[in-house]
Structure 1
């Protein structure tokens, strides 16, 4: 959920046991233990599946009624699919959830290839969509996940119905308040609990709402995970690319967001042919936590 272009330069370390994200087996196991604890915060029935793709293993969490509308969840940077714990009850009421861990970030997906290009990211997700035979499905995506959702929707051929972008990073414009987001860069270079808590205060208006169990997982993601230069390719989409997206799109940001401002919404309205926008009061970049009930209601209303 910390989602920046800056991270591309934060680290050049390589894993010693052929794992793209973690340096050691111990680091990976510590992280996975914290992931499993955080996933229990979902507090709804779910199953986990590992899907083989051309680029490695995709980890997918399934929840909600099997006859519900297919809904794909794409998480923010370093957040993994466990980040949806404040929202999952509302989202599973009428939807069949497919929450996918991004293969180049901390989570349970495992990259077995070189860092993916934009084109390969599209291929990776389409292989997962094809595995589940997803057609005419919806997407709810946060931050970097929002950038990925936009990338997928901008393809000439896709099966996406509606899209909800929750403060999408680097999608309409570059980071709005670059100075304030520098705390996340320093956290990545010199990880510590103090820097981590300061970063949460920057991105959330109500960091006290964040579960300690989830905080632990998110901290380990930032402490252990290698960053990569592929983030440098995560640049805003052109006007022509945005115009090509025909799916209905809802863009939501917090009124105290450090990644997006109203300028992002102005561009969305101008260049997305079928778009709506919403600003959530008393919410930062972590709006799904800051104002979870309000955000849930807005998402559900748009999708249904």
Structure 2
């Protein structure tokens, strides 16, 4: 896609949110730029240098520090690499990468090569999980284990419901800027638990970003025949995009080494309470399999 993903002064506003989020973290973060064949990639790096590597991919149409903030307990023990996805809000280049072919796998390999990482653990919420599934398809040996949270790339929720509860309020919000319509979307996405700071970010993303509208390709069983790494899936019963009741059966059919499928009574955006449980699940999983 040619041209900027930002409308008017959107880049300034969104990167302001990004920087404010980073300031809220109480640990050191390095910001590194890596040249890849898909464009310049901005990566947040944190955690003990001697720690085992974990790559964390941001949710789609979101900012990297927001979804990174969901997994902060991992920074205590692991060396965390969190790239801004190219073509999504943040500091990376704006040309979009296809989530339907090998492109994301190649992009990740180039990032790993830069840091001399042969293989790693991977964590991804939403679109980020869909990216990991592209890597699992084309370069499965790069993945030591993976955690997919509310994952894209397996099965979609009800399109009718998405139109009614997300798309229509989004059209109304974009034409009126009314907080009421934004609240309708964020309440649906988070089961009424979204933090005010995140509502503001999401509102500005909706207003000032040309949104990525293509979901990652739905992964097939055949694509994952060579992917044998331990995998944990965490899903929400009230997730409008990727609900647990649609994911569960398909995930068990297509992922060869699915260690556990955990279900929480949550929306697409987890509440603070759910994040505590999710991180306990992830830490237990990593302690056992990584």
TM-score by length of 2: 0.87
Change in CA separation of 1:194 and 1:277 when aligned onto 2, cut-off 3 Å? farther
Q: Does 1:164 align with 2:147?
A: yes
Structure-1 residue corresponding to 2:158: 177
**Any idea what SS the aligned residue of 2:148 has?**
strand
Structure 1 stretches of 5 or more lacking a match? 1-13
Match of 1:130 among 104, 113, 134: 113
Check whether the contact 1:68–1:96 (CA below 8 A) recurs between aligned residues: yes
- Please tell me whether residue 275 in structure 1 is matched to residue 275 in structure 2: no
Q: Aligned ranges for residues 119-268 of structure 1 at < 5 Å?
A: 119-156=102-139, 158-169=141-152, 171-173=153-155, 175-182=156-163, 183-186=165-168, 188-190=170-172, 191=174, 192=177, 193-208=179-194, 210=195, 212-228=196-212, 231=214, 234-258=216-240, 259-268=242-251
CA distance change for structure 1 residues 149 and 254 in 2, over 3 Å: closer, same or farther?
A: same
How many residues align structurally? 280
Matches within 5 A, 1:94-113: 94-111=77-94, 113=95
Residue-by-residue CA offset, 1:183-211 (whole Å, 9 max, x unaligned): 33235544233322111111212425x2x
RMSD (CA atoms):
2.3
Whether the aligned pair in 2 keeps the contact of 1:63 and 1:97 (CA below 8 Å) is yes
Preserved CA contact (<8 Å) 1:73 1:100: yes
- Shift in alpha-carbon separation, 1:265–1:280, aligned structure 2, 3 A: closer
> Which residue number in structure 2 is paired with residue 48 of structure 1?
31
Partner of 2:277: 294
Deviations 1:71-117 (A, max 9, x none): 00011111221123543431112110001111011111113x56546
The alpha-carbon deviation at position 254 of structure 1 amounts to 1.5
Q: Which structure 1 residue ranges, 4+ long, deviate > 6 Å from structure 2?
A: none
Q: Distance in 2 between matches of 1:74 and 1:114?
A: 15
Question: Which piece of structure 1 moves more, 195-204 or 80-89?
Answer: 80-89
Partner Cα distance (2:171, 2:224) in 1: 34
Where structure 2 has 5 or more consecutive residues not aligned to the other structure, the ranges are none
Q: Which one of 41, 46, 50 corresponds to residue 58 of structure 1?
A: 41
Quick one: distance in 2 between partners of 1:186 and 1:125? 35
Separation in 2, partners of 1:114, 1:279: 32
Question: For residues 177 and 28 of structure 1, what CA distance do their matches in structure 2 show?
Answer: 32
